[in-house]
Amino acid sequence: MSVTIATKAFADQKPGTSGLRKKVKVYQQPHYAENYIQSIFDSLEGFAGATLVVGGDGRYYNKEVIQTALRMAAANGFGRVIVGQNGLLSTPAASHLIRHNKAYGGLVLSASHNPGGPDGDFGIKYNIGNGGPAPEKITDAVFARSKVITHYKTTETPDIDLGKTGRSMIEGMTVEVVDPVADYASLMQSLFDFDAIRALFKSGFRMKFDGMGAITGPYAKTILEGMLGAAQGTVINGTPLPDFGGHHPDPNLVHAKELVDDVMMGLAFDFGAASDGDGDRNLIVGRGIYVTPSDSLAIIAANATHAPGYAGGIAGIARSMPTSCAPDCVAAKKGIPCFETPTGWKFFGNLLDAGLATVCGEESFGTGSNHVREKDGLWAVLMWLNILAATRRSVSEIVTSHWDLYGRNFYSRHDYEEVDAEAANKLMDGLRARLPAIKAEHGLTTADDFAYDDPVDKSHTAKQGIRLIFPDGARIIYRLSGTGTAGATLRVYIERYVADRSQHGTETQEMLKDLIALSRSIPDIPGITGRSAPTVIT
């Protein structure tokens, strides 16, 4: 029976860069998840009898909230829910299921690259019918609703068994438990040259894929080891665990260090890759080389036609503002547009829907295309495998020849994690107030706070990061993270373009040394935050 439960609003349910992420302990407060889910449903219209896709990355608390979401979907009038077996779905697979089944939308339970476990983070995000993250218009409405909510609707029904695929009912709503991997794997097969990749593995090519104890393990095992014939054991940490086996599922140089060291320094592997908590990020390394996500986007854009799904060419590229300008060089040479958007995948949706961009990416290890409306970790790995198989060149040959042709954008991100929130805001406000003075003092061509006008729906988004741009195109960018759950994280992005080939071998931090010093002194990071160095450098 459907019931209406009285509740009190929480003041802190403001969605960030990608959904509402909070400590598990916050989500475990009575009615907390229910309030947020009801606020989402209350902000939507016309879904009576429609289909909702539900799944999560398997992190701690996933099992409980999945059941809550199913009951609430039934009580709110959805006609059908498609849910991944055991409550699991990677973010890109959820995006695909929404599109494939023409669903009304989807709920993805994940805090992505944030740590999991009882003391870690949990998150919920809502995706719309195109498969992509809800745009700001909806997330703003959800937040507004969450501040005044008084009731939510649910059913008094026992838990649904999600262990087996098949159908059951909650009141009048069908619950369809599906294999989380199958449809996604077919989609990948339709885009990439699986025969060529199989031949590559057969020729002795060796790779290592780190699932980081999170959602991508089952997908990677099925596709890489199962369909493509990579050696058994190629996928490590391949079982999704509620605490990710203690891993911090963020595939960067710090948290995936073991894999990076193994592949970069060793002789045993030709290629290494990793994905994050919910499977939408990717890390790419080759023997002796780490590929920055910005370079990876540029290289994928330049070589995409090797993959059957992109053989006709790409219409355009889109990158988030802090992502390096490497993709712009490719776009210029191809005579196609390169769009610059605010951080967060939700800003790519309109460009992809309108056919203005085919591939897009962010410096934060996110790459994807118009095949879904989320970034897609395994997609990027398969694209690289396809390029490697088609060219039979090494990762490092592909990267260095790309630099030879287009020049190299030296790039690094410096994160100052868990700084005092007040100090972080003071730092950003101080920069904002001094922009004209900073511009004059350092002879900059631009010193502004990035704002974006969406070319499709004409929406305007302001205050998306402070840009200091030098006459030679070098950039220093500052923004505060919108995904953290403790204090504030200051992200500083530093970039310099170098055309001269003879300098391409220089170490990145060395090449950026003067800009790095300026990045600290201009806003007085040590003085205001008490930090003399970043916590994470990627």
* Near ligand VG1 by CB under 6 A: residue from 113, 145, 319, 467: 113
Q: Which does 51 bind (CB under 5 to 8 A by kind): Co ion, ligand VG1, none?
A: none
Q: Which of residues 316-335 bind ligand VG1 (CB under 6 A)?
A: 320
CA distance 62 to 13: 18
Cα 278 to its chain centre, rounded Å, is: 8
- 280 touches Co ion (CB under 5 A): yes
Report the residue number, 91 or 303, with the smaller CB distance to ligand VG1.
91
CA distances to 121, 179, 217 from 244, rounded to whole Å, are: 12, 21, 11
Report the residue number, 154 or 320, with the smaller CB distance to ligand VG1.
320
- Cβ atoms within 10 Å of 43's Cβ, excluding its own: 19
Q: Which helix (H) or strand (E) holds 295?
A: helix 293-303
Query: 400 and 471 in contact (C-beta within 8 Å)?
Result: no
Report the residue number, 42 or 278, with the smaller CB distance to Co ion.
278
CA distance 434 to 424: 16
Where does this chain touch ligand VG1 (CB under 6 A) — which range of 63-71, 294-302, 311-319, 478-486? 478-486
Q: Which does 345 bind (CB under 5 to 8 A by kind): ligand VG1, Co ion, none?
A: ligand VG1
- 491 touches ligand VG1 (CB under 6 A): yes
Report the residue number, 193 or 276, with the smaller CB distance to Co ion.
276
Q: Which does 482 bind (CB under 5 to 8 A by kind): Co ion, ligand VG1, none?
A: ligand VG1
Number of residues that bind Co ion (CB under 5 A): 5
- β-pairing, 466-469 vs 359-362, is unpaired
- By rule CB under 5 A, what string of x and - marks binding of each residue 514-533 to Co ion? --------------------
Q: 206: buried, middle or exposed (CB in 10 Å: 19+, 13-18, 0-12)? A: middle
* Near ligand VG1 by CB under 6 A: residue from 116, 344, 349, 361: 344
Tell me the residue length of the chain: 538
Report the residue number, 71 or 281, with the smaller CB distance to Co ion.
281
- 464 touches ligand VG1 (CB under 6 A): no
Tokens of 277: 């908590």
Backbone angles phi, psi at 345, to 5 degrees: -65, -20
* Near ligand VG1 by CB under 6 A: residue from 343, 367, 386, 412: 343
Q: Which of residues 3-42 bind ligand VG1 (CB under 6 A)?
A: 17-18
Report the residue number, 38 or 112, with the smaller CB distance to ligand VG1.
112
Q: At its nearest, how many Å lie between Co ion and the CB of residue 68?
A: 22
Where does this chain touch ligand VG1 (CB under 6 A) — which range of 31-39, 219-227, 306-314, 358-366? 358-366
* Near Co ion by CB under 5 A: residue from 42, 121, 278, 328: 278
User: Can you tell me whether residue 377 is helix, strand or coil?
Assistant: helix
DSSP string, 475-518: EEEEEE-SS-SSSEEEEEEEEEEE--GGGTTS-HHHHTHHHHHH
CA distance 324 to 312: 26
* Near ligand VG1 by CB under 6 A: residue from 47, 152, 345, 497: 345
Report the residue number, 281 or 491, with the smaller CB distance to Co ion.
281
Marked catalytic residue, from 110, 112, 412, 519: 112
CA distance 367 to 280: 8
* Near Co ion by CB under 5 A: residue from 17, 38, 95, 112: 112
Query: 72 and 21 in contact (C-beta within 8 Å)?
Result: no
Where does this chain touch ligand VG1 (CB under 6 A) — which range of 76-84, 174-182, 339-347, 448-456? 339-347
Give the residue nearest to Co ion (CB): 112
Q: 355: buried, middle or exposed (CB in 10 Å: 19+, 13-18, 0-12)? A: exposed
- By rule CB under 6 A, what string of x and - marks binding of each residue 261-280 to ligand VG1? ---------------x---x
CA distance 439 to 489: 25
Tell me which residue of 219, 281, 270 sits closest to 248, measured CA to CA.
281
Residue 238 one-letter amino acid: G
- β-pairing, 207-210 vs 475-480, is unpaired
Residue 375 one-letter amino acid: K
Q: Decide if 112 is catalytic.
A: yes
Backbone angles phi, psi at 377, to 5 degrees: -60, -55
- 358 touches ligand VG1 (CB under 6 A): no
Residues near Co ion, by CB under 5 A: 112, 276, 278, 280-281
Active site residues: 112
Residues near ligand VG1, by CB under 6 A: 17-18, 112-113, 276, 280-281, 320, 343-345, 362, 364, 366, 481-483, 491
